[in-house]
Chain A
């Protein structure tokens, strides 16, 4: 069954929107084609989660935001994600759909590193953006949501690291949805050329409780031969936002893509993280944490596809469910024919804090090659009373003991988040969501 979502956006609106942002012609026609396709394409069908009644149509597509002169002007809730003592920030702050603040160290600029908003990237590095925009990772015509994403894309960041350049300092984006009804059709592209390395961290923040909004987000990570990308994210959309998030990676020969995702939205969410290990010896580690609360329903897919010889994929998903939250965790390891000597490992663990919460861990291994190794582990359980007993026997209160066990449970991912300030924020968000 497809959902009839009548969109208030037509060809004319899209054309004008594109012109207003001075986009190149190719982008405008890509948008218009995508809009046409969207009408005919089906909605995505996440396994075991019914999204037919979710709000994907009620939102405000355009919302500008004021620039800021210095980081000191930011409200506290945004400041906490930043390392303010560092004066040499590599940072883009997007306020609604405008760039409020952008800085990149001169050293990195000289080396040819790009960290800029998607519109500037299209204007200044049009060929690069065109080469990667929904080409190798996410396709426009995968489903209605990906097509709508292309048609309505209204923000995002482009990251590019040239050949042989090692970027030590993290590159950071903050997507601050200040307007409670503003939709986020954010598009992030991260390209690491051969033998390069980078760390990128992004934060999504909104505060809409009653107001409805939609986030339809795509991030595409391309790691060329022997490149290394470490991608960290903390998603923190408020209750009113329905989110459809696609983060996808393509790793070529000897490349490594590391994901550390804190999936902390308070609204209904479908979040997919897929990595294609195209090249021989390529590696991906996908680590995610989630806390579900209230009545939210979430569906998470972590998938790694081994194409290359001796490629190695490892998925780790940890989720905590409380109240009457529902979550489905799909872990998919797929080994294509010919990817011999490759390895697909995955582990999904769900900790239930209330009897009304629901958690579902689905480990799936799809293997079309003989000479491989693969393994999976999945569990759904409660806090172990014997662990609590042990901690309490040292004088620690029951609440504190539970807190320790939950933090410990989520630590394997939290400790992987690259920026200290973001890591601490994730810890704080977890704290707030769990208690």
Chain B
């Protein structure tokens, strides 16, 4: 079997005692690109954060397995080392830690002691990836995300994705706040990773990202659940008709859940 498999089963997640996810089921295999769509406040970002282990989210029920291993039992760094990656919607700014030092530590964290990436190889790979993403080389020496514009932060997330080369990546609204040129560049970076060993879960509420990254499967979330799944044509229909028809079809009046904005 090629690549890894991420299985999300009946996942219930609360934040401050309020249930946001109410039983999500999804399976992502190596080589597959899944898009999770839906209006704001339906639990999409909660799903991403809960899988990665964000400290504010509490899993109350269900399971997340990566190649059969229980992800929810792992510390956040163990999840990363097991092969998961989350490109965050709001990456933290870390003063005093340069982007390149951070990236090197991240890469070496996934390698055995004594098998660290050589400085030369690291610099070469980073240069290539930055060129590919049309990033200013000075950003390597700037402090991690500090003072980066919204677009620079998103590119930086994709730079990390390209360098770390995880088995399964979750991209949380990687398209928000990007102009069309930046969107194309970011998509190009993501598409470069596409192969049978790489699985990707793309969370977005705009269809436009999917003009550049064609998903194999599209899921719609409402009220903290996946309410509809389909192929790329589902995204096309959402773009053309919006979400109202799904709400009508399923008899949903308010698609949002909890306080999530």
Q: Chain A residues in contact with chain B, CB under 8 A?
A: 384-387, 389-398, 400-401, 404-405, 407-412
The residue from B96, B101, B109, B164 contacting A397, defined by CB atoms under 8 A apart: B109
Most chain-A Cβ atoms within 10 A of its Cβ — which of B81, B95, B160?
A: B95
A394 to B76, CA, bound (A): 8
Contacts of A387 in B (CB 8 A): 92, 94
Contacts of A407 in B (CB 8 A): 96-97
Contact A394 B97 (CB under 8 A): no
Q: Known contacts being A400-B105, A404-B102, A404-B105, is A393 close to B86, with CB within 8 Å? A: yes
Q: Does B237 contact A (CB under 8 A)?
A: no
Contacts of A401 in B (CB 8 A): 77
Q: Which residue of B lies closest to A411 (CB)?
A: B96
Q: Known contacts being A387-B92, A408-B96, A408-B97, is A395 close to B80, with CB within 8 Å? A: yes
Contacts of B95 in A (CB 8 A): 408-409, 411-412
Q: Which residue of A lies closest to B80 (CB)?
A: A395
The residue from A391, A392, A398 contacting B94, defined by CB atoms under 8 A apart: A391
Q: Does B251 contact A (CB under 8 A)?
A: no
Q: Does B55 contact A (CB under 8 A)?
A: yes
Contacts of B88 in A (CB 8 A): 390, 393
Q: Which residue of B lies closest to A412 (CB)?
A: B96
Contacts of B75 in A (CB 8 A): 392, 398
Q: Does B54 contact A (CB under 8 A)?
A: yes
Q: Does B91 contact A (CB under 8 A)?
A: yes
Q: Does B66 contact A (CB under 8 A)?
A: no
Contacts of A396 in B (CB 8 A): 77, 80, 105-106, 109
Q: How many contacting A-B pairs (Cβ < 8 A)?
A: 82
Contacts of B101 in A (CB 8 A): 404
Q: Report, nearest first, the 6 A-B pairs whose CB atoms are least far apart.
A: A408-B96, A411-B96, A395-B109, A395-B80, A394-B106, A390-B92
Contacts of B102 in A (CB 8 A): 391, 394, 404
Interface size class of B (residues with CB under 8 A): 20 to 34
Contact B164 A395 (CB under 8 A): yes
Contact B96 A395 (CB under 8 A): no
A57 to B259, CA, bound (A): 62
Smallest Cβ distance from A348 to chain B, in angstroms?
15
Contact B80 A394 (CB under 8 A): yes
Within 8 A of A (CB), among B40-66: 52-55
Instruction: Offer 23 A-B interface pairs, CB within 8 angstroms, sorted by A.
Output: A387-B94, A389-B54, A389-B55, A389-B92, A390-B92, A390-B94, A391-B94, A392-B53, A393-B53, A394-B102, A394-B164, A395-B106, A395-B164, A397-B109, A398-B75, A398-B77, A401-B77, A405-B94, A408-B94, A409-B95, A410-B96, A411-B95, A412-B95
Smallest Cβ distance from A317 to chain B, in angstroms?
15
A386 to B76, CA, bound (A): 11
The residue from A385, A393, A405 contacting B80, defined by CB atoms under 8 A apart: A393
